[in-house]
Amino acid sequence: MSSKSFQNASKLNGIVSVLQFGADPTGSADSASAFSSAGSSAATVQVEIPAGVYKLLTNPVVTGNVTWVVHKGASFTGAGTIWSASNKIVSLGDFRSIQSSPSFYNGIFGYLEQNAAETGYGTIGINAVARTAGGNGGAAEADIGVAGFALNELVGGLGGAWALYGTALRQAGVNGPTHGLELDIANMGNTVPLFPGQMGAAGQTHALWVATGGEATNSASAGTASVAIGIVRNDSNASPSAAFEKGIVFHNVSIAGCDGATGNGIAIAMASGHQVAWFNNSNQCTSEIVTNNRLVASAQRIDFNEFGILFQGRTNGNINFQVENNASGVNFLSVNSGVAGFGPQLKANGSDANVDVYIQPKGSGVFAVTYGSSTVTTPGSFSATRKLAIKDGNGLTLYVPVTTTPW
């Protein structure tokens, strides 16, 4: 087939090249007219822009529904641009950065001209942008940069379905970061708080939003999904080194209110009634932490600090109980609940064979032990075989006689 026959066939199929209309790939002559003719050659047309330098002194004026396909090595000079809100741009070449005030378009790949500011990006397979302003969706429109849908209809089989899937591999010796997925969010306005009971309020910004129900939310057949986020190792038989080194990591300055050295920030927020649970390999729950408190006045807080562990009221900050930290401690107290007919026990424990228990009041305070309501008298034949030693604040030991049999 001759070159002319191929050009005619391409036009009939709605695929043309700007070179067919006289575009200059050397950048010497203005190619705006050739681009205009190519983009107006059919009602719906795909315009190929081969490698070369194209001077566009003005914006091409097209009448067709155009998809510009920019090949690798193609670049532009001049004041003109192929940007258009009604046309698509597909780039087979290098990515150029999105400017501080970019133009938005209906495209699966964003391509900026050669004179646009470059960034440190390398090769990008698919890049998409969307703009929720001035579109056809009205006040409640939702524009999506990249959308994926997968329908699993394989009944009785083991096939899977992935709406979005990606793999990133790091070769040995590579120093740069390798990300399976990165989602960036930039809030250029005021901060709208998010609470477990107020998800999706107007103005909130979310880097990652995981929702159940999908497009079947209004369907009675939509059931409970298994999990929101699952962290797995693909091959359970692989070397343990193939596992994640950590599950979830928060950067030391990623949460507002905390700089890694001072302050506190809420890293995880859950509604009352949610719990953290642990399971064994037989899928049996072995431990859990849960809060059912729904009263602000009863809000509680546990603080692990350099002095130990504080149990305190969250609202007033009052300390209810403190466990002091002792890096050299080897002896400790054990608390056991009592079965029916027996009281609870507070026992000394530790590595020493004999462990004393010290109860020390503060300042001039006293150690008080409550007693029952019955009255006893000391019989004349009382004989004590044991004694209770009590030390005061000055180290003086007081002895109280006790007996192993009732009076």
pLDDT in tens, the chain (407 residues): 333 433 443 444 578 999 999 999 999 999 999 999 999 999 889 999 998 999 999 999 999 888 888 887 888 888 888 876 567 777 765 544 333 334 444 444 444 433 333 334 444 455 555 555 554 445 556 666 677 777 787 788 777 888 888 888 888 999 989 998 888 888 888 999 999 999 888 899 999 998 887 665 555 667 788 999 999 887 766 666 788 899 999 999 999 999 888 899 999 999 999 999 999 999 999 999 999 999 999 999 999 998 899 999 998 889 999 999 999 999 999 999 999 998 899 999 999 999 988 888 888 888 887 777 777 777 777 778 788 887 776 778 888 888 777 76
| Helical (H) or strand (E) element with 388 | strand 386-391
Instruction: With beta carbons less than 8 A apart as the criterion, state whether 21 and 34 touch.
Output: yes
Structure tokens at 9: 């066939």
Q: What is the pLDDT of residues 135-171, one digit of tens each?
A: 444 555 666 667 777 778 778 877 788 888 888 888 8
Residue 405 maps to a domain = no
Question: Does 68 fall in a domain?
Answer: yes
Range of the domain at 94: 1-145
| Within-domain flag for 238 | no
Q: How many domains does the chain have?
A: 1
The residue length of the chain stands at 407
Return the residue matching tokens 């026959």: 5
Q: Residue 328 burial by CB count (10 A; 0-12/13-18/19+): exposed, middle or buried?
A: exposed
What CA dihedral angle connects 40, 43, 49 and 50, to 10 degrees? -110
Q: Looking at the domain assignment, is residue 8 inside a domain?
A: yes
Count CB-CB contacts under 10 A for residue 16.
Answer: 23
Q: Which residue in 190, 188, 219, 220 sits closest to 101, CA to CA?
A: 188
Whether residue 374 lies inside any domain: the answer is no
Would you give the DSSP letter of residue 404?
Answer: S
Sign of the C-alpha dihedral, residues 7, 13, 17, 20? positive
Q: Exposed, middle or buried, 338 (CB in 10 Å: 0-12/13-18/19+)?
A: exposed
89: in domain = yes
- Is 0.85 surpassed by the pTM of this model? no
Residue 150 inside a domain? The answer is no
Q: Confirm whether 113 is domain-assigned.
A: yes
Whether 105 contacts 85, CB under 8 Å? yes
* End-to-end Cα separation, the chain, in angstroms: 122
> Are the beta carbons of 360 and 344 closer than 8 angstroms?
no
Q: Do residues 144 and 164 lie in contact, with contact meaning Cβ atoms separated by under 8 Å? A: no
